[in-house]
Each structure stands twice: as C-alpha cells, then as structure tokens.
Chains A and B, each alone.
Chain A
Amino acid sequence: MATAQTRTLSRIMMAPAVIVLLIWMIVPLVMTLWFSFQNYSLINPMMTGFAGWANYLYVIGDPSFTQSLVNTLILVGGVLAITVIGGTFLALLLDQPIWGQGILRIIVISPFFVMPPVAALIWKNGFMHPGYGMLGHLWKFFGLQPVDWFNQYPLFSVIVIVAWQWLPFATLILLTALQSLSEEQREAAEMDGANAINRFYYIILPHMARSITIVILIQTIFLLGIFAEIRVTTGGGPGYASTNIAFLVFRTGILSNDIGAGSAGGVVAVVIANVVAFFLMRAVGKNLDA
C-alpha cells in the first residue's frame, strides 16, 4: 500500500486539513503574541506602540489575575475531584447487575448533552435561587434559611454546575473501561480468593488507571476554558470572586476593550493549557500503536 502514486495522492488528500489547521493554529496565536506586547486599546486609539512587558506586568500584577488563577485552579481541581471520585463510584454501581441498566445509562449521560448556558440557568433559577429555587424550598422544608448561593458561594456554585455536566462524561468513560475488564479476569481473581476490596485495589483500579488519567486530562482541557457557565450566572462576580483566567481575558479584552492586556492574559492561558496538553498527548500517543 505504498506506491509513489498513493503517497502523492495522500499528501494531496491531507493538504486541506493540514493547511487550515496550520493557519488556525499559527495566525491567531502569533497575533495574540504580537498584541500582548503592544499598547492597543479600542477605547483609546491614542494609545499605541510597543509596550514591552508592560501588559504582562499589568495583567500579572493585578490582584484580579492572582485571584483568577487561584479560581481557575480551584474550579478545575474541584470539578475533577467530584467527577473522578463520583464517576468511579457511579460506574462501579452501574456495572453491578441491576434492572434497567440500558435506560439508566441514558438517564445518567443526559446532563452532558445540556448546553452550558441552559445548565447554568437551570441551576441558577430553578435550583439555587434563594426565593423560588428547589434547594431553597428544601432548606425551608427543614426549617433552614435558604442560601443565596451565587452571592455567598459564587465559585462553589459554578463548580456544582460544571461538575453536574461532567460527572456523566467521567461515569460513561469509566463504565466503558470497566466493562472491558474481562469476566475471566474477575473470575480468576475471585477463584484466587480475593475479596471485593482487594479486587477493587488490585484488579479494577489498575485496569481503570489509564482511563482515569484520560478523563482527568480531557476534562482539564475543557475545564480550563469554562466560560458560559460563569457568563450567565455570576458574570465573574461578585468582584472577581468567580472569574477564571478565561473569563478574565474576556473581561479585559472584549468588555474593557484593552486588547494588549487581554492578549497577555491569553498568552498566559495558552501556556497553562500547553502544560496540560503535553501530558495528555503523551497519554493518548502511547495508545496509538496499540
């Protein structure tokens, strides 16, 4: 399958995909880098010229940056903790002999298909609203004072919404991995006299380790860019209490029209994502030859 002719054809066949992705990757990124060293504001056209590291110093020096960075880490870490631990248990539970497994799978995966703004608005208005949200009603039922979630615990509230969306993803992938563990392997372990806990630690967990890694890495990629959930619920506030890096760039660049500083923030976001991407690529790449 390798004549010179097929090789030539295959280059031609790949060209469109490679070219558009190359442009997509390089052009905006170079522009972002360029802008990040410029004085460039859409509001103040007088501000022009080379800015040196000023944008970076401005962005990184601003307390909102530190807070956004911390928020990003808490958001990603919190959601990962909930989804990976919850997903593992849920997958184990769904793998048990239960009635209606097929329907359950469908029910459990559903939140993943809910578009982010809808997810956010359902939680904001239907559940977390202190006046008429379901959680408010529940609190009142137990004689408690309803909580104003988005004002009192803005970041936590966002974490809950995002975790709700991603828990099904983790569950589904871990369940798939679990189901590929052959029955024979399990039976062999049972014959060897391993009890349920030992089986979990020595057979099931090692088998799922790779899938868990992949879940963590893929979710991290998406979670670093969480945007809509913040945009339609807290708007990043109060103050910067629920602003992550992605939202900060949007606030600075688009809402405040400070292209230079926004770009510097964008570059920082790219750097963070690349660190994660490096590890994800290694995990996926290893699987390529298999």
Chain B
Amino acid sequence: MGSISLKNVKKSFGEVQIIPDISLDIKDGEFVVFVGPSGCGKSTLLRLIAGLEDTTAGTILLDGEDMTKAPPARRGLAMVFQSYALYPHMTVRDNIAFPLKMAKASKEEIDKKVEYAARTLNLSSYLDRRPRALSGGQRQRVAIGRAIVREPKAFLFDEPLSNLDAALRVNMRLEITELHQQLKTTMIYVTHDQVEAMTMADRIVVLNAGNVEQFGSPLDLYKKPANRFVAGFIGSPKMNFVDGPEAAKHNAHSIGVRPEHFKLSKTAEAGTWKGKVGVAEQLGSDTFLHVHVDGLGLMTIRTDGDQTFSHGDDVYLTPDQTRIYRFDAAGKAI
C-alpha cells in the first residue's frame, strides 16, 4: 500500500514562502511526476513528503496515517537522490543491504533480497565493488537497488537521471518505468525534463512558484491545459502564443497553437498567416521552422523532415481551427 495525501501543506524557509498551499492525493501504485521550472519547489515538496524537512503547516498522510511529524526513518519511504548518495566506504552489496541491516533483517533474508535486487538491476557482477569503481548508470542502479530492497510504501526520485548522458538517460527511463510496472509501488518522480514527465507518468503535477498549476494525466495536460502556464510548459517545442486583435477574433485574451498544429504551404490561401522562414532546424524525422509571421512575431512550426525550406522563403501558415487554445486575461483556459 502506498497512498500519499497532502492537505494544505505550506512551507517557508524563514520569511520566504516557498510553498503557499498545496493539497494533493496520490493513489496507491501511481507513478506521479512533479515537473516545473527550476526553483519552483519540486525538491522541497519531495523532501517534505520524505520527512527531511518540516512542514510549516498542513498534514501529510501516508496510507491514511498522519505522518506529518514522523522522522524519515519511520515513514517507510525510499528515496533516490540526484547525486545517488551512495555510501562510498561500503561495497555495492553493503550499500544495498544497509536499509535491511537498519531494519534488523536476518542474514539469510538480507542475502536473498540483495541477490534478487542485484539480478533485477543487472548488478550481480559488481556486488563487491565500491561505488567509486562504477559508472554513473551503475551507480544509479545501486541507488535504486538500495531503495527497492526495503519494499517501501513509495519511491521518491529527485531528478535521478540528470547526471547521466542522453543515451543512458533514455535507457534508465525505460528501466524505471519497467520497474514500476513490475513492482506496482507508488512512485513520485521529480524532473524538469518534460519528455521524462510525459513518457513515465500516470499523472503529472505541474508546479510553478510553489503552486500546483494542474494535476492530470500526460494527455490531459497536453490536450486540455488548465492555463497558459501549463500549455506553454507541456509540449516540445513550446506552444506559440498570440495576443491582441488576432486573439480577439476568437473571443480570447490570448490564443495558443502548438507547433504541430499548423498546415504549411508555399502558396497563399485564405485565412492564413504569412511569414518568412528564419532558422530551419532539421532533425531528420522532423523539421522545426522558426517563422517570422507578419504582425504576430516569431513562431515555431513542426513539419515532417521531407519538406525543405530555406532561410528567407515565404510561407503561409494555417492553424488547425479545432486545436486553438483560448485563454482569458488571467491566463486561464476558456
């Protein structure tokens, strides 16, 4: 079991309020990702759940039990740190066994669980090495191994992949997702990489300046962003926003169109926006065009990789009318 709920949780460091007021309900077995810009309080929120920081106000319930004041050791949660935080003086085996030793497990039980974790994570041949002698990906797996042996109520990950190179990151992403499917334990995962967020999460919490902007499934967030912040944050490349008379035509303060929701042509058509191609970023499968639209500014357009455009070409853009997002003056979706 591992449901986590936060009720009106607030956190200030001295005078500075980092988390004004957050309530969240995370269901047992769910994979929840916290995303948001740097400094928005993701780690702080995670550490509040872990018990590494005190809440200023509010309650934290784990499986319905009030754990607001409980020390981390008693909460039954496991955490994987960005820095891995392995014990440098212990072998891989001892690192993984440490939580079990703290729980006073028997020798046989420890051996059995360590072996099992090592097999699951492909660490069997490294068990007698020190963390120093491991690669970044291996270290991360040891950190995960240390987390899974204690069979926690939930796993907390704080940007666990951000120290790895791009290729390895993709691999580890898959491994963690697979691990979740295998264990079916609640996981909270902090990242500011929205690809990680979209691909791994059952539900995503978008945080901004300590507030929850939206909490929903990845596709919900993509299709029905609650506000302009979420709309701009989720999706890559970013959504294009237009204010002023063009938005007024749609009865909105501002409108947004995603780069992939444009029709593109080289010849003029009715109702289209005219522009000049600036930079064309060709990725092979896709091409991202940065188009200077007359009177509306720079827009990013996604097209397939087969069409070729070059700098200075005139292009005509037609936004998909069914996929225009409208926002009011406060940025709320309408």
Q: Do chains A and B touch in the complex (CB under 8 A)?
A: yes
Binary interface profile of B, 52-72, with partner A (CB < 8 Å = 1, else 0)?
111000000000000001010
B51 at the interface (CB under 8 A from A): yes
Contacts of B52 in A (CB 8 A): 1, 3
Question: Chain A nearest CB: distance from B68 CB in Å?
Answer: 11
Contacts of A287 in B (CB 8 A): none
Secondary structure of the A contact surface, majority rule: mixed
Contacts of A1 in B (CB 8 A): 52-53
Inter-chain CA distance A2–B48, complex, in Å, is: 11
Contacts of B51 in A (CB 8 A): 3
Q: Is the CB of B53 within 8 A of A2?
A: yes
Q: Is the CB of A5 within 8 A of B71?
A: yes
Question: Chain A nearest CB: distance from B261 CB in Å?
Answer: 46
Q: Which of B311-328 contact A (CB under 8 A)?
A: none
Inter-chain CA distance A157–B52, complex, in Å, is: 61
Binary interface profile of A, 214-232, with partner B (CB < 8 Å = 1, else 0)?
0000000000000000000
Interface centre among A1, A3, A4, A5 (most CB of B within 10 A): A3
Secondary structure of the B contact surface, majority rule: loop
Q: Which of B119-173 contact A (CB under 8 A)?
A: none
Contacts of A5 in B (CB 8 A): 71
Question: Chain B nearest CB: distance from A83 CB in Å?
Answer: 40
Contacts of A4 in B (CB 8 A): 54, 69
Which residue of chain B has the shortest Cβ distance to A3 in the bound complex?
B54
Binary interface profile of A, 1-43, with partner B (CB < 8 Å = 1, else 0)?
1111100000000000000000000000000000000000000
Which residue of chain B has the shortest Cβ distance to A5 in the bound complex?
B71
| Contacts across chains A and B counted by CB atoms under 8 Å | 12
Contacts of A2 in B (CB 8 A): 53-54
Contacts of B71 in A (CB 8 A): 3, 5
Inter-chain CA distance A156–B71, complex, in Å, is: 63
Inter-chain CA distance A2–B52, complex, in Å, is: 7
Which residue of chain A has the shortest Cβ distance to B13 in the bound complex?
A2
Which residue of chain A has the shortest Cβ distance to B51 in the bound complex?
A3
Question: Chain A nearest CB: distance from B168 CB in Å?
Answer: 29
Question: Chain A nearest CB: distance from B50 CB in Å?
Answer: 10
Contacts of B54 in A (CB 8 A): 2-4
Q: Which of B201-245 contact A (CB under 8 A)?
A: none
Inter-chain CA distance A2–B69, complex, in Å, is: 13
Question: Chain A nearest CB: distance from B52 CB in Å?
Answer: 7
Question: Chain B nearest CB: distance from A112 CB in Å?
Answer: 32
Question: Chain A nearest CB: distance from B106 CB in Å?
Answer: 29
Inter-chain CA distance A177–B141, complex, in Å, is: 42
Inter-chain CA distance A5–B71, complex, in Å, is: 7
Which residue of chain B has the shortest Cβ distance to A9 in the bound complex?
B71
Which residue of chain A has the shortest Cβ distance to B71 in the bound complex?
A5
Contacts of B53 in A (CB 8 A): 1-3
Question: Chain B nearest CB: distance from A4 CB in Å?
Answer: 5
Inter-chain CA distance A2–B71, complex, in Å, is: 11
Q: Which of B9-57 contact A (CB under 8 A)?
A: 51-54
Inter-chain CA distance A99–B191, complex, in Å, is: 54
Inter-chain CA distance A2–B47, complex, in Å, is: 11
Question: Chain B nearest CB: distance from A166 CB in Å?
Answer: 38
Inter-chain CA distance A4–B71, complex, in Å, is: 10
Inter-chain CA distance A122–B215, complex, in Å, is: 80
Question: Chain B nearest CB: distance from A113 CB in Å?
Answer: 30
Inter-chain CA distance A5–B52, complex, in Å, is: 10
Binary interface profile of B, 106-122, with partner A (CB < 8 Å = 1, else 0)?
00000000000000000
Question: Chain B nearest CB: distance from A3 CB in Å?
Answer: 5
Inter-chain CA distance A2–B44, complex, in Å, is: 12
Q: Which of A192-241 contact B (CB under 8 A)?
A: none
Binary interface profile of A, 95-136, with partner B (CB < 8 Å = 1, else 0)?
000000000000000000000000000000000000000000
Contacts of A3 in B (CB 8 A): 51-54, 71
Question: Chain A nearest CB: distance from B167 CB in Å?
Answer: 34
Which residue of chain A has the shortest Cβ distance to B54 in the bound complex?
A3
Inter-chain CA distance A1–B53, complex, in Å, is: 6
Question: Chain B nearest CB: distance from A10 CB in Å?
Answer: 14
Interface centre among A1, A4, A5 (most CB of B within 10 A): A5
Which residue of chain A has the shortest Cβ distance to B72 in the bound complex?
A3
Question: Chain A nearest CB: distance from B72 CB in Å?
Answer: 8
Inter-chain CA distance A1–B52, complex, in Å, is: 6
Inter-chain CA distance A1–B85, complex, in Å, is: 15
Which residue of chain B has the shortest Cβ distance to A4 in the bound complex?
B54
Inter-chain CA distance A49–B53, complex, in Å, is: 59
Inter-chain CA distance A284–B181, complex, in Å, is: 55
Inter-chain CA distance A247–B134, complex, in Å, is: 60
Inter-chain CA distance A2–B54, complex, in Å, is: 7
Inter-chain CA distance A4–B54, complex, in Å, is: 7
Question: Chain B nearest CB: distance from A227 CB in Å?
Answer: 43
Inter-chain CA distance A1–B54, complex, in Å, is: 9
Inter-chain CA distance A80–B52, complex, in Å, is: 50
Q: List 12 contacting pairs A-B, 8 Å CB cutoff, sorted by A.
A: A1-B52, A1-B53, A2-B53, A2-B54, A3-B51, A3-B52, A3-B53, A3-B54, A3-B71, A4-B54, A4-B69, A5-B71
Give residues in A with beta carbon < 8 Å to B.
1-5
Kindly list 6 other residue pairs between chains A and B, CB separation below 8 angstroms, not including A1-B52, A2-B54, A3-B54: A1-B53, A2-B53, A3-B52, A3-B71, A4-B54, A5-B71
Give residues in B with beta carbon < 8 Å to A.
51-54, 69, 71
3 closest residue pairs by CB, A with B: A3-B54, A5-B71, A4-B54
